[in-house]
Amino acid sequence: MFDYEIKYQKGCTNIEADMLSRHPVSHHLQHAVHLLDMNELKTQQNNDNHCGAKYHKVKDVIVIKKRNMYKIVVPFSLRLKLLNQAHEQFGHPGVQKMLNLIAPQYYWPNITSDITEFVKHCSVCQLNKKRKQKRFGLLQQVPPTSTPFECISVDTVGGFNYYNSTKNFFIL
């Protein structure tokens, strides 16, 4: 019914991608709001004195070009504030989602390890984290028996090799 032409554009060059192909939170971050106040950011960047061939100034904000995208260089004094705001505003996402939210727009050296440490030390995230261990069975009381040796139970305790012992397990 409509006469249109479809042209392929490589993903890394298609920075302004279609809304249907992007996560709504990521789109909100890239286009609508900055997590940091720009005046405060400019002041702190000037105080930290970022300079070098890899840094550029765009509208008085120091940026770096990574993968054909300009990313705002976050000074050390504002990194924790940025992590707190993103973490609280977007509902305690995990490490990978935090990276997906912050990394397209912001940059600093070792951003991945900083985000990993931040999430690892968040008490809310640790309480709600999915456990990788299987749950133990429910404890039950052993029913009384009518004759001796009708029910026999054995407990094994291990991990004694750290006490310079030749025995690793103890059977009760």
List the chain domain ranges: 39-127
> What are 18-70's pLDDT values in tens digits?
555 554 444 444 443 577 888 888 888 888 766 677 888 888 888 888 888 88
CA 107 vs CA 37, 78, 143: distances in Å: 16, 12, 63
The whole-number pLDDT of residue 12 equals 65
In CATH, the number for domain 39-127 is: 1.10.340.70
> What are 143-169's pLDDT values in tens digits?
888 998 888 878 888 777 666 667 777
Mean per-residue pLDDT, 80-98: 87
CB under 8 Å to 142, separation ≥6 — which residues? 151, 153
The residue with tokens 């924790």 is 80
The whole-number pLDDT of residue 118 equals 92
Output the 3-class SS for 137-165. CCCCCCCCCCCCCCCCCCCEEECHHHHCC
pLDDT higher than 70, residue 98: yes
> What are 113-134's pLDDT values in tens digits?
999 999 888 888 888 777 777 7
